[in-house]
Amino acid sequence: MWKKRITADFQRATVVMFGAITVLGITPFAVYRFLTGQPLAGSIDLLIVACIGAGAAHAWRSGRTTGAATFLAVSYSIGCVAVAHVTGLAGVLWLYPVLVANFLLVGRRPALVISTFAIAGVAFSEPALGTVADKVGFIATAVVVSLFSFVFASRTAVQRSQLQAIAMRDPLTGAGNRRGMETELQIAMASSIRSGVPLGLLVFDIDHFKRINDSFGHEAGDDVLVQIADLVRASTRMDDRFFRVGGEEFALLLPGASADALQDIAGKLCSEVERQVQVQGRPITISIGATPFHPDDSPTGWLARADAAMYEAKRTGRNRTVVTGL
């Protein structure tokens, strides 16, 4: 269970990782400072460990990582400023990893704000930086570290966004994949419950698709999939969400579609596919199952109802639509 939480949520994994590093890395320093007659510095260290540990634990249990990450960044920065004022130069050196951590934990703009205040707080620490030259040198190096961290965080955010987009999309048809559909279903259902706006789900399957592959080859089968995907995108609204569920099965999420509209959309799509999609001059047909969303539906139950309607359409002759759950 814990492995699934870590691998499924990048931000949660980051917050928990920083929490573990803090507890394991700073606790020994706190103990050392108590043993060497520095109770104030040791107490600050323990307070930092307690705050960071509590924030990481909250993120782990609740999954609410945005607030927890901000709390960690602020706690790190305030703690570092306090340690610098108490311990002098030894405390200043802790700011550099803190600056990097800020840009990994929170968005780039909040990290800039938090880091700017941290740099200013440490720069005015007389025990650590007694001369103007010391202050200027520290500010310059801290700003350079912050800028490098900003660039790194920006590039990482772009790459992560690109990878997430790839992970949610079917490479052949450009439609969303099953993983993307599961996410979009949750979002659309919650929005429909809040707003009261109707929501429809349409699932369809290409009739005799195995026969197409066997007769004309897999390249022809892939071409049929692409033709249908292009037709669906050209026939639907920008707010509609289109997915390739697997093989020759697709799904269409339709915000704002009432039960009557769902019947009309399914019928038109079935007719348009037969009219426009062909393989070597032979028309292709689809069987469609559709159902409106009810507030007490679960994602799996709603999808299962649409699937059952689709299989009913196939069982009763194919190239037709069945709308259920009205």
H/E element holding 164?
Answer: helix 132-167
How far apart, in whole angstroms, are the C-alpha atoms of residue 12 and residue 63? 7
Residues sharing a CB contact under 8 Å with residue 237, sequence separation 6 or more, in sequence order: none
- For residue range 263-311, what is the model confidence (pLDDT) as tens digits? 999 999 999 999 999 998 899 999 999 999 999 999 999 999 999 999 9
Give the 3-state secondary structure of residue 282.
strand
How far apart, in whole angstroms, are the C-alpha atoms of residue 228 and residue 231? 5
Contact 6, 16 (CB under 8 A): yes
- The β-bridge relationship of strands 321-323 and 286-292 is parallel
Residues of the chain with pLDDT under 70: 1-9
Tell how far CA 206 is from the center of its chain: 31
How far apart, in whole angstroms, are the C-alpha atoms of residue 273 and residue 252? 14
Whole-structure pTM value? 0.63
Residue 53 to residues 56, 68, 89, 92, Cα–Cα distance (Å): 5, 10, 26, 22
Residue type, 303: L
Q: Produce one character per residue of 86-110: b if its CB has 16 or more CB atoms within 10 Å, e if not.
A: bbbeebbebbbebbbbbbbbbeeeb
For 171, counting Cβ atoms within 10 Å of its Cβ (0-12 exposed, 13-18 middle, 19+ buried), the class is exposed
For 213, counting Cβ atoms within 10 Å of its Cβ (0-12 exposed, 13-18 middle, 19+ buried), the class is middle
Residue 274 to residues 8, 172, 226, 270, Cα–Cα distance (Å): 40, 21, 15, 7
Sort residue 281 into left (φ over 0), alpha (ψ -120 to 50) or beta.
left
CB atoms within 10 A of CB 203: 26
For the chain, give every domain's residue range.
2-167, 178-323
Give the CATH superfamily of 178-323. Answer: Reverse transcriptase/Diguanylate cyclase domain (3.30.70.270)
The per-residue pLDDT for 164 is 74
